[in-house]
Homo-oligomer: A and B are copies of this chain.
């Protein structure tokens, strides 16, 4: 990791101008984080898909199960996908009989989306099984490590997901 050198060692000690070391540190963290997210999302995707629904589809179903009802636009925002992608996802879920689309009361442009009974079954029964692989690993990691991971999860969400600019 070779970060040799002290900060401010070249005389540029203004507080708001990051020193070379800090810049290196951020650069390296960024590269590691990028790679980790890319690879671990692949791994997780493969471990949380089932024959019934993919990881992405399950995420939509789980959101609907908690929120009761939503619209394609709200779901697209929540999942961070473009509207056409959500239209397609909902189309597949509807074909599979897991969600139902109906007219929005009051605003004819919008569409209401809700789980069917079958969709609710998939969420409730699938949840435990779906996260089993991840739970096993977290269990093995130990309490202290889970504490770090909980902090980091919240932090990553704030840093990557919720911030808007």
Residues of A within 8 A of B (CB): 1-3, 18, 22, 25-27, 29-45, 48, 55-56, 59, 79-81, 127-132, 134-135, 137-141, 143, 145-146, 148-153, 155-161, 163
Contact = CB atoms under 8 A, between A and B. Distances in A.
B39 A161 contact: yes
A158 to B, nearest CB: 8
A81 to B, nearest CB: 7
Contacts of A37: 37, 40-41, 44
Contacts of A148: 148, 151-152, 155
B59 A38 contact: yes
B149 A40 contact: no
Give the copy number: 2
Given A29-B149, A29-B150, A146-B29, A40 B156 contact: yes
Contacts of A157: 36, 40
A137 B45 CA distance: 25
Contact of A80 (B1, B39, B146): B39
Contacts of A35: 59
Nearest to A48: B34
